[in-house]
Amino acid sequence: MRGRAFLEQYERDFSWGPGHHEVESFLEAMHELPERIRDLLTKKFGAGRFFVPTTTELVKNWFFGMRMINARDQRQVIMPIIELANHAGKGSYDAKSGVALTGKFDGEVLVRYMMPTDPLDMFLNWMFAPREPMAFSTELVTAFGGKQFEVQRKFHDDSRTPSIPNVTVDGDRIVVQYLLLGHQNFPRVPKGVFRHAMQAAGLKEADELYDFVQFANRQGFLDLLDALEGVDLSIIPTLRALALNQLRALSCHFGVRQV
């Protein structure tokens, strides 16, 4: 009973109590955006879930979705107290027995909410867009060499980066599960990974395709910055940080390393 009372008071004072108001305020701020920006965020960046009607159930799903983790038996559980750790550093959650954070920390206890991730992924899942060392392509479909080329953003728990993404070939359709475009620590890897993946898919001499995907991603976030110009709303600094931090991470590529 004492443990239950502690958790109930914790939820009231530190978690659900103030937290659901923050989620609701964020969603309301997104709804205030001009239609042209909402349309851009939805079509180019997969942010449509921000613009559905804000209901109590939606706020609850967002709130607990940002505080849930897969336990050892693959059940999704919430993690009181541990949820207070901010995103940064190199630490990760330990879900071998319950959920824990272990190790030594210089100052604040920090943890990586997700790996792999980039500013766009953080925004779509946690409503903020910090600087990240990596950038992945937005979802896109284009034609190249008589084939349809599709990039998705399907990260999963055992994704290891910088790794070669899963690629499927269905006739003239090539689908890449996710595509690394920038890496602060390994800037030569993105093109090497892309070449390797395309050779495995039977698409040779694909550097022009890689350059186009880079261009399309940069142009998308530059278009977002242009659309934000002159708009005076509380959500604008967050969206500007999203665009700038994604562009910074996208710029971290040059040369090629064979993989």
**14-36: pLDDT as tens digits:** 888 888 899 999 999 999 999 99
8 Å CB contact between 186 and 246: no
**CA dist list (Å): 214 to 95, 100, 137, 151, 179:** 36, 38, 8, 12, 10
**Quick one: pLDDT at residue 161?**
54
Phi–psi pair at 206, nearest 5 degrees: -105, 15
Which residues, including other chains, have CB under 8 Å from residue 88's CB and lie 6 or more apart? 110, 111, 112, 130
Residue 62 has a pLDDT of: 93
Residue 171 neighbours by CB under 8 Å, 6+ apart? none
Per-residue pLDDT of the chain (259 residues; tens, 9 = 90+): 787 898 888 888 888 888 889 999 999 999 999 999 999 999 999 999 999 999 999 999 999 989 888 777 677 888 888 888 889 888 888 877 778 887 788 888 888 888 889 999 999 999 999 999 999 999 999 999 889 999 999 986 555 555 778 899 999 999 999 999 999 999 999 999 999 999 888 887 899 999 999 999 999 999 999 999 999 999 999 999 999 999 999 999 999 888 7
Q: What is the pLDDT of residue 158?
A: 55
Q: What's the pLDDT score for residue 156?
A: 66
Q: Determine what percent of the chain falls in helix, strand and coil, rounding each to the nearest 5.
A: 45, 15, 40
SS3 118: coil
- The tokens for 51 are 């613009």
pLDDT value, residue 190: 95
- pLDDT recorded at residue 123: 97
> For residue 151, what are the β-bridge partners?
140, 176
pLDDT recorded at residue 186: 94
Q: Would you state the pLDDT for residue 207?
A: 93
